[in-house]
Copies of this chain bind each other. A is one copy, B any other.
């Protein structure tokens, strides 16, 4: 039976892998105003769901890109997961194709705007390189 803190630690580690950040911003930036929400992200979203063995990390990112691009109302999170998809082994061409495909299921505006976020992430990584 695991200790609650193990969920938090496991989630932080998953977030570090996905984001490449040592101190994942999504958790730390909520610490002052909504610490429970930050804790749930680490414990539940990444410590429970993402850390499960039933789906490969790269597959998880593809599902999430589909969800966030289709919803079209969560820009920071879409950028986070475009970056995460690259870190999980997707190529830029695969991400562009995945977001292009969104045009079929959620319309061209959703696809075009998602591609704009991909461009921003790619540019930022190029600038850092």
Contacts and interface: CB of A to CB of B under 8 A. Distances in A.
Interface of A: 1-5, 26, 30, 33-34, 36-37, 40-41, 44-45, 48-50, 52, 54-55, 59-60, 62-74, 76-77, 93-94, 96-113, 115, 118-119, 122
Q: What is the oligomeric copy number?
A: 6
A104 B74 contact: no
A99 B36 CA distance: 11
A68 B109 contact: yes
A77 B109 CA distance: 6
Contact of A115 (B37, B96, B98): B37
A7 to B, nearest CB: 8
A32 to B, nearest CB: 8
